[in-house]
Amino acid sequence: MKIGFIGLGIMGTPMALHLVNAGHALYVHTRSQIPEAIQVAGGVRCDNAAAVAREAEVVFTMVPDTPDVEAVLFGENGVAQGLSKGKGKVVVDMSSISPMATKAFAKKINALGADYIDAPVSGGEVGAKAGSLTIMCGGDAAVFERVRPLLELMGKNITLVGGNGDGQTTKVANQIIVALNIAAVSEALVFASKAGADPAKVRQALMGGFAASRILEVHGERMIKRTFNPGFRIKLHQKDLNLALQGAKEIGVSLPQTANAAQLMGACAANGMAELDHSALVKALELMANHEVAKG
């Protein structure tokens, strides 16, 4: 197939590579320079998003936030300007953005004669490189089945949750769970370390019990080894938690623990850590405790 991919960052680049390495023709556009790996694999650079849409049968977008998706789709030289009625084209947005905005975007794309799937992902850079992402989809079932073979090149756990917007709602729920788990692991390791216990051995012991989790395994190790180079940046998780809190306000739901996690990430960002991995949330608790879990 002719595939378009817009947004070649930490996540987008390995995801696009899986597509082109599977033999699909790849047309790409990104704000920065096209990664060398994409060029070597045969990706074709396009001057703008409209050019990508004119060439491709399926257009994937993977950009940071709701305004970025709106600009890519409907801005000057956006995807919408490259869509042709009757061509059966599909737009698949894999960004993590507002569920309500997603529903509006889908209607506008549908009105132009194309189909729309929201398909945000979880699994971070590691999952993107391994092709093992969890992909949460919203859209028409028949359209989902058309793009499923492409999604299977990038992910393992792929679920059609419901209609447009439901994929994004699921991703927001995912980000709530991940944030609260990071906060819990952070509190536990700060407590254990300041109490005088070896945090590495505490983590090892906890991994054999009911407290075991992927967050304790991966991010607990990051907290102990002080490896906060980004897989998923604090500023992006901040954005996702703000989507949760905004959505909660709209539907009349209280999310007190989500609000607490958002405050901790905000404290990190205020102290110059917005570009660090979200496991660096532990640093906000370390500041309050005047104690680091471990020395890097």
Phi-psi domain of 272 (left: phi exceeds 0; alpha: psi -120 through 50; beta: other): left
What's the burial of 27, exposed, middle or buried (CB within 10 Å: 0-12/13-18/19+)? buried
Which of 89, 171, 235, 239 is labelled catalytic? 171
The Cα–Cα gap between 18 and 33 comes to 19
Handedness of CA 76, 78, 82, 87 (dihedral sign): negative
Rounded to an integer, what distance in angstroms lies between the CA atom of residue 181 and that of residue 58? 35
Alpha-carbon distance of 81 to 63, in angstroms, equals: 18
Using alpha carbons, select from 145, 102, 166, 124 the residue that is nearest to residue 15: 124
171 given a catalytic annotation: yes
Residue numbers annotated as active site: 171
